[in-house]
């Protein structure tokens, strides 16, 4: 469980992650009561001061913490994979050569911009569900199923790698939709459905682009 600590003007002060004990009493018409036991640290002493506000986000979005635990875990995995995918796209954009340069150079740029937006969306969704997104790339590399690639200059090799990556991401996003539906998490399911819609169209376009030749009928 994570507790979000805000100042009286609702500026986030930090997140309490290491909780030894928490007794939380709800009140419908007044502020609730709680007894919180945490390790003594400088960070905790800075955050946990009079007039600050402590919130459990999931209480407000009406989701159960245990129910969304699998969703959060799957989103952590997706975040790591998208971060590696993003850096691969940057490499394709920089290093592409050959007859398809003008088309692919521009296309890879739009694709890595889109991937960067999705990284933010996934990280923010993890936070909304009470998790804390990883930000260290060294940690992403430990768990990501998508592997780093480098020195790819041929357009067909880059497109082939992207199609393989999409195949993996689409499969993982479908799993997240199933987990989200089980947890009653419509927002995460809808987010993943939007990703699928975009990615399936992109797969169609990349396969069409990769077609070696056409036969007139």
Give me the domains of the chain, ranges plus CATH numbers. 3-55 (no CATH), 65-210 (1.20.1260.10)
What integer pLDDT is reported at residue 214 of this predicted model?
45
In angstroms, the CA 27 to CA 24 distance is 10
Per-residue pLDDT of the chain (217 residues; tens, 9 = 90+): 678 787 877 677 888 888 888 787 766 556 667 788 989 999 899 999 988 877 767 766 778 767 788 999 999 999 999 999 999 999 999 999 988 899 999 999 999 999 999 999 999 999 888 888 899 999 999 999 999 999 999 999 999 999 999 999 999 999 999 999 999 999 999 999 999 999 999 999 999 988 765 444 4
What integer pLDDT is reported at residue 29 of this predicted model?
54
In angstroms, the CA 79 to CA 134 distance is 8
What integer pLDDT is reported at residue 5 of this predicted model?
83
In angstroms, the CA 58 to CA 126 distance is 11
Torsion of CA 79, 81, 82, 86, to 10 degrees: 140
């Amino acid at each position: 469980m994570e507790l979000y600590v805000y100042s009286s003007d609702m500026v986030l002060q930090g997140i309490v992650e290491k909780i030894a004990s928490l007794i939380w009493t709800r009140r419908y018409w007044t502020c609730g009561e709680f007894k919180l036991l945490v390790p003594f640290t400088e960070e905790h002493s800075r955050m946990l001061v009079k007039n600050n506000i402590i919130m459990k986000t999931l209480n407000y979005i009406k989701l159960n913490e245990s129910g969304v635990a699998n969703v959060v875990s799957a989103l952590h995995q997706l975040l790591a994979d998208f971060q590696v995918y993003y850096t691969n796209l940057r490499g394709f954009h920089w290093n592409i050569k050959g007859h398809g340069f003008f088309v692919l150079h521009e296309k890879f740029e739009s694709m890595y911009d889109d991937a960067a937006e999705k990284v933010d969306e996934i990280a923010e969704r993890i936070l909304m569900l009470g998790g804390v997104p990883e930000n260290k790339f060294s940690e992403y590399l430990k768990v990501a199923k998508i592997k780093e690639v480098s020195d790819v200059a041929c357009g067909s090799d880059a497109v082939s790698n992207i199609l393989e990556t999409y195949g993996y991401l689409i499969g993982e996003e479908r799993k997240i939709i199933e987990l989200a539906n089980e947890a009653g998490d419509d927002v995460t399911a809808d987010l993943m459905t939007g990703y699928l819609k975009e990615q399936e169209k992109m797969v169609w376009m990349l396969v069409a682009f990769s077609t070696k030749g056409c036969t007139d009928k």
